[in-house]
Structure 1
Amino acid sequence: MKVLVLFYSMYGHIHRMAEAVAEGIREVPGAEVLLRRVPETLPADVLEKMGATEPQKAFAHIPVATVDDLAAADAVIFGTPTRFGNMCGQMRQFLDATGGLWMKGTLVGKVGSVFTSSATQHGGQESTILTFHTFLLHQGMVVVGLPYAFAGQMRNDEITGGSPYGASTIAGTQGERQPTENELAAARFQGKHAATIAARLVAA
């Protein structure tokens, strides 16, 4: 069973969450993880001015995805930073190229799940995941979130991301905050949970 973790990360926060998702997937017997990033759409000089060039070197070795990677997977877990309460443009452009998969019904019945990040605690994490779910539903995918079986999302002793819709992290207004252990635990839980459901569907 192949589980694709498809992400876009500008400063490394979503990449770190994607790694945690992959860790959770690997806990499921027989699950193979494919870690891929969506193509960059910004010119190199713009990324440099945004201070993103150096952080992106940490995951430059991860292959760039094609739509064929979606077709080959039994489940896809998407990771995107939040942009004004929605997915980033790089992810949107990649998804807009999946019309051929939609026409053939290629993704129908496959598990789809989403995790995200935002600069602030109330920066649109939930709306980003919920609006992303629209794409999953149009493709006929089985939407999987982060159930309250992960009790870490109910913590109030610290500021933390995470909701029933999916794992999330708060990056800080300057990108200075890294995912906490609780947020990474949520990502691992979501990866294992989505992969477990995918395994049951494949077996059926």
Structure 2
Amino acid sequence: MSRILVLYYSSYGHVRTLAEAEAEGARSVPGTVVDIRRVPETVPEEVRKGAGYVEDDTPVAAPADLAEYDGIILGTPTRFGMMAGQMKQFLDQAGGLWARNALVGKVGAVFASTGSQHGGHEATMLSTQIPMQHFGMVIAGMPYTFAGQTSAEGIIGGAPYGAGTIAGADGSLHPTETDLAGARFQGAYVARLAAALAGAVPLTEAA
């Protein structure tokens, strides 16, 4: 039995939709338990309402929760080519986990939503993988065995670094079926890796 956490931040719902697809993919792997959680909001309520942020009743996670999982999949919108500040603040509170090597050997993955095709999609995923490597996690991208990412038919998100979607500058686009298929693929990929590593030799021995 392996446990997977899909942890995300979403302003307008695009990342939340992908998170649900990631969880669906992970659950398709026998013996996998999946939780979907979001990071705490830092934007004041009146600002959220004024900006048209969607309501989200998904339970909120705490940094300490991460140690309970074999695989952690992070989802974030792109903010100037980087992860959203809400996600960064959450990870910045995980120093205690880092100090005791609590996440070493766990599988980590990233997916993202971006306003445009050249709006920092890949930069966001790559930069979000950096703290995962500081935690000692094993990084899982989205291999080209998911052939949908090479399609030239329409606007699609995702890259070898993770699943994704293009929201449009005004947020009017929605994840395509290819985007959702990529997220399901990545979720299942992480679950299979986590299950394999969970039964392997422990990776936390100090040298």
TM-score band, normalised by the shorter chain?
A: over 0.9
Matches within 5 A, 1:134-145: 134-145=130-141
Question: Matched residues in 1 for 2:65 and 2:37: separation?
Answer: 9
1:161 aligns to 2:157 (yes or no): yes
Query: Are residue 86 (structure 1) and residue 82 (structure 2) matched?
Result: yes
CA distance in 1, matches of 2:163, 2:118: 14
1:66 aligned residue: 62
Q: Do the aligned partners of 1:4 and 1:69 also contact (CA within 8 Å) in 2?
A: no
Provide Cα deviations, 1:120-140, integer angstroms capped at 9, x if missing partner. 111101000101111010000
SS in 2 for 1:29: coil
**Corresponding residue of 1:190:** 186
CA-atom RMSD in angstroms: 0.6
Q: For 1:203 and 1:30, how far apart are their aligned partners in 2?
A: 13
User: Is contact 1:74-1:202 (8 Å) kept?
Assistant: yes
Matched, 1:76 2:76: no
In the TM superposition, residue 68 of structure 1 has moved relative to its aligned partner by 2.1
Contact 2:3–2:32 under 8 Å retained in 1: yes
TM-score normalized by structure 2?
0.95
Unaligned 5+ residue runs, structure 1?
Answer: none
Q: List per-residue Cα deviations over 1:122-177 (Å, max 9, x = no partner).
A: 11010001011110100000000000000000001211111100001001111111
Q: Does 1:42 align with 2:46?
A: no
Q: Which residue of 1 aligns with 2:142?
A: 146
Of 120, 124, 131, the match for 2:127? 131
Unaligned runs of 5+ in 2: 201-207
Equivalent residues of 1:116, 1:125 under 8 A apart = yes
Aligned to 2:24: 23
Deviation, 1:69, is 1.6
Distance in 2 between residues matched to 1:34 and 1:93, nearest whole Å: 21
d(CA) in 2 for partners of 1:97, 1:152: 36
Instruction: Please give the secondary structure, in 1, of the residue aligned with 2:6.
Output: strand
Specify the alignment match of 2:33 in structure 1. Answer: 32
Q: Is the 8 A contact 2:15 2:77 kept in 1?
A: yes
Does the Cα contact within 8 Å between 2:64 and 2:94 map onto a contact in 1?
A: no
| Alignment: residue pair count | 199
- Contact 2:25/2:184, CA 8 A, preserved across alignment: yes
The corresponding residue for 1:118 is: 114
- Is 1:175 matched with 2:168? no
Secondary structure of the residue aligned to 2:111 is strand
Q: Distance in 2 between matches of 1:33 and 1:22?
A: 6
**TM-score between the two structures when normalised by the length of structure 1:** 0.96
1:171 maps to a residue whose letter is A
- Percent identity reads 55
CA distance in 2, matches of 1:139, 1:8: 20
- Who is 1:5 aligned against? 6
Query: Is the partner of 2:152 in helix, strand or coil?
Result: coil
